[in-house]
Structure 1
Amino acid sequence: MISITLLTLGLAAYATAHGDHDSQKSISGPHQSLWYNRLPGDGGTQADSVFSGITTFGRLPYKACLSEPGVQYDIAFLGAPFDTGTSYRPGARFGPSGIRQGSRRLNLYGGYNVPLATNPFNSWATVLDCGDVPVTSYDNTYALRQIEEGHYNLLSRAPSTDARKRGPAKHERTLPRVITLGGDHTITLPLLRSINRAYGPVSVIHFDSHLDTWKPKVFGGSPSEVASINHGTYFYHAAQEGLLRNDSNIHAGIRTTLSGPSDYDNDGYCGFEIVEAREIDTIGTDGIIKKIIDRVGTKNPVYLSLDIDTLDPAFAPATGTPETGGWSTRELRTILRGLESLNLIGADIVEVAPAYDTNAEHTTMAAADALYEIMSIMVKKGPLSAMVEQLPGTNEL
């Protein structure tokens, strides 16, 4: 009896020290109700601390969106657990669950992004974790089709906000944004196919240590049509399929070894400009940001694909093809924040392979933090209807 009394008093004191939580039923948005001064069975709710409960990205509400066509959102997180297109270390099929685990504390103190002056967890936007696309590990062709159709299923819905206003998508529609958790980098090809169905060709910002525009006969030998599509050739196929806006795409963070200088020359046929990782030593983060913005522009729809191996292995060891000499987590987050003027319509993060991580979850936390910056940019920018010039009486469909 004494121990129960002391426990109750202790919890009550903790609640008093941290403010009036009876009048503040939610911390970090409407999805995280906490209790402090009641014991289970004594009229209290289930405890929901940052280290407990079901793991979703940033502890967002979960909806099985693919099986619930009526669910609406402005930003959806979607997992694509695919890694049978990798050439070195497999394991990125566990990336979606690992990134979610690394994101648990993103809104521990409320989720407010100080540098970007916005709170992506408590804003105009309805943000959900929609779980994972069901992906087979036995048939790459079918798996990529599953990813494309799953992504398009979510992308093509009416958003929660401004659904009736004109937007930048085909037929002047305003669509939600989808952020995809990979998976190896092969998944970007079906994602761009989905984007193309909704928007047409788009400009792409590609953060990576590798070019990923290799011709299939050079990378993998292309013994079959299936083998020709992998995490080093997907941009080649995207260019051939007309999914990219010509001469408005950019690689950032490149530092891989090459077969020769001609590899950079050949990269041009996919419409990319190259920013090497080592350029940060001479032009700094501001120079990197300027190059990216100058290349893709601030008026067109932009898709962002982030390979976690952009970071140096010291900061993100758990990846399929690590390369030394990369950027720090702080540098990457600074660069991402500098892109707030862009019209990001979607994004993915790939090549997170948790099996190679440290016990401290360095890589999964870095991946989650990068997505936090991207998510913050999307929220701060507002609904995609904002891309269309606001003219009185003409913006509604």
Structure 2
Amino acid sequence: MSSRVDKRYYPADSLKTPRFTGPITFARLPYTRDPAGLDAAFIGIPFDGGVVFRSGARLGPLAVRNGSLLLRLYNPALRVKPFEVLEVADMGDVAVVPNSLERTYENVSQEISAVLKAGVTPVVCGGDHSITLPLLREVSKIHGKIALLHFDSHLDLVESHFGQRYTHGTVFRRALEEGLIDPEHSAHIGIRGSLFSEEEVLEAEEAGFRVVMMEELERVGVEAVVRDLVRRVEGLPCYVSFDIDVCDPAYAPGTGTPEVGGLTSREALSMVRGLKGLRFVGFDLVEVSPPYDHGEITAILAANILYEFISLLAWWRQKK
């Protein structure tokens, strides 16, 4: 058994220091505020000022860090040691303003801009889904229109909620209007549940999005859907936004807007792993609401999905 002792950033050795000893960072990685020298950075955005139903996602980054304590160095599914291949650190949380979405967006943009300019891939944990918009804005400044893979039980293409144009359910409507994403090379995956109208899915498809309903996923299977997604975005700068409520409440009860009939945890992990080889420019995982969680199962699942995101970056680097 070997380890990269020469690396600047490396997780604490859990065979020498127990997992329940602090400080608590994602996967027990070192903490830094300086992105220089990093390949990827875990960043928390503890903001839920965009929710229109159950709150609590502001506590998501803290819970997910705790849920990551059992993560280990080797990913056997992708056959990669992500923290040996890449320099990864926990950069802490963005300084959000709890009662101001506008000021929070400004702070998110400032921090993510610095990370991207340093050549670092952001791996972000929300927070509610409204935090994705400033992330997409900053990524698109560097890469232009990007391919989006959006895992969610909801389309998040609503025009407004209660007259408010910036909420967790309007994020991709605004991103589309601002020209941040290329709908012809983007997809919404895992959509299910009751809708406001029969026009919702039709409008998304007419805009150019690929919409994968849960009924289709169940009918054709995970592998077929993933192959189709890879073909759709291959070669393009790809951003993944993963709302934990794409998973069934049996596996992810700790979320603000749960919908029955979703992905199992195994299916979710399989879908993420199947995206290996794509040109990723950023990731986020959102809508973990610890007050509704049971036994930390949502936070643990979220932490593992974020670990798979980092492993995808390492897989790509390892194959180059």
Q: Normalising TM by the smaller chain, what interval?
A: over 0.9
Deviates more, 1:269-278 or 1:126-135: 269-278
Corresponding position of 1:53: 22
Gaps of 5+ in 2: none
> Within the alignment, does 1:291 sit opposite 2:235 as a pair?
no
C-alpha change, 1:285 and 1:276, in structure 2 (3 Å) is: same
- Partner of residue 93 from structure 1, selected from 58, 66, 76: 58
Amino acid paired to 1:340 = K
The answer on 1:187 being equivalent to 2:148 is no
> In the TM superposition, what whole-angstrom CA distance separates every residue of 1:328-366 from its partner, at most 9, and x where no partner exists?
0001101111110211111000000111111x2100000
Q: Which residue of 1 aligns with 2:148?
A: 204
Pair 1:272-2:209 in alignment: yes
* Distance in 2, Cα, partners of 1:87 & 1:31: 37
TM-score if structure 1 supplies the norm length?
A: 0.76
Q: Displacement, 1:72?
A: 2.5
Q: Per the alignment, in what secondary structure is the counterpart of residue 179 of structure 1?
A: strand
Aligned residue for 1:104, secondary structure, equals: coil
Query: Aligned to 2:256, which of 317, 320, 323?
Result: 320
In structure 2, the residue matched to 1:371 is 306
1:104 lines up with 2:63 in the alignment: no
The answer for the alignment partner of 2:106 in structure 1 is 145
Match of 2:265 in 1: 329
Q: Distance in 1 between matches of 2:315 and 2:47?
A: 31
Instruction: Classify 1:270/1:132 alpha carbon distance in 2 versus 1 (closer, same or farther; 3 Å).
Output: farther
**Aligned counterpart, 2:179:** 242
Q: Tell me the equivalent position of 1:164.
A: none
Higher RCO (CA-CA < 8 Å; seq separation 6+): 2
Cα distance in 2 between the residues matched to 1:270 and 1:181 = 28
- Structure with max Cα Rg: 1
Aligned in 2, Cα 1:35/1:351: closer, same or farther, shift over 3 Å? closer
In structure 2, relative to structure 1, the CA distance for the partners of 1:383 and 1:257 (3 Å cut) is same
Over 3 Å counting, the alpha-carbon distance change for 1:24 and 1:205 in structure 2 is closer
Q: Please state how far the C-alpha of 1:213 moved relative to its aligned partner.
A: 1.0
Aligned to 2:193: 256
Asked whether the equivalents of residues 235 and 270 of structure 1 are also in contact (C-alpha less than 8 Å), the reply is no
Alignment of 1:213-228 (within 5 A): 213-216=157-160, 220-222=161-163, 227-228=164-165
CA distance 1:202–1:379, change in 2 (3 Å)? same
2:285 alignment partner AA: I
Contact 2:32 2:89 in 1 (8 A): yes
CA distance in 2, matches of 1:189, 1:58: 26
Q: Which residue of structure 2 lines up, in the alignment, with residue 160 of structure 1?
A: none
Deviation at 1:25, TM superposition (A): 7.7
Once residues 58 and 194 of structure 2 are traced to their aligned partners in structure 1, the CA distance between those partners, rounded to angstroms, is: 26
Shift of 1:278: 2.4
Q: How many residues align?
A: 318
Q: TM-score, normalised by structure 2?
A: 0.94
Instruction: Say what the alpha-carbon RMSD is for the aligned residues.
Output: 2.2
**Alignment partner of 1:339: what SS?**
coil
What do residues 156-211 of structure 1 show as CA deviations (whole Å, max 9, x unaligned)? 11xxxxxxxxxxxxxxxxx2211011000001100001101121110000000000
Residue 185 of structure 2 aligns with an amino acid whose one-letter code is S
Shift of 1:154: 1.1
Q: Give the structure 2 partner of residue 127 of structure 1.
A: 88
The answer for unaligned runs of 5 or more in structure 1 is 1-18, 37-47, 158-174, 387-397
Percent sequence identity is: 37
Whether the 8 Å CA contact 1:214–1:267 is kept in 2: the answer is no
Distance in structure 1 (CA, Å) of the matches to 2:92 and 2:238? 24
1:288-329 Cα deviation digits (max 9, x unpaired): 212211222x21110000000010000000001000000100
The CA distance in 2 between the partners of 1:366 and 1:288, in whole Å, is 21
Q: Structure 1: how far apart are the matches of 2:117 and 2:69?
A: 28
* Most deviating of 56-65 and 180-189: 56-65
Q: CA deviation at 1:34?
A: 6.3
CA contact (8 A) 1:25 1:33 kept: no
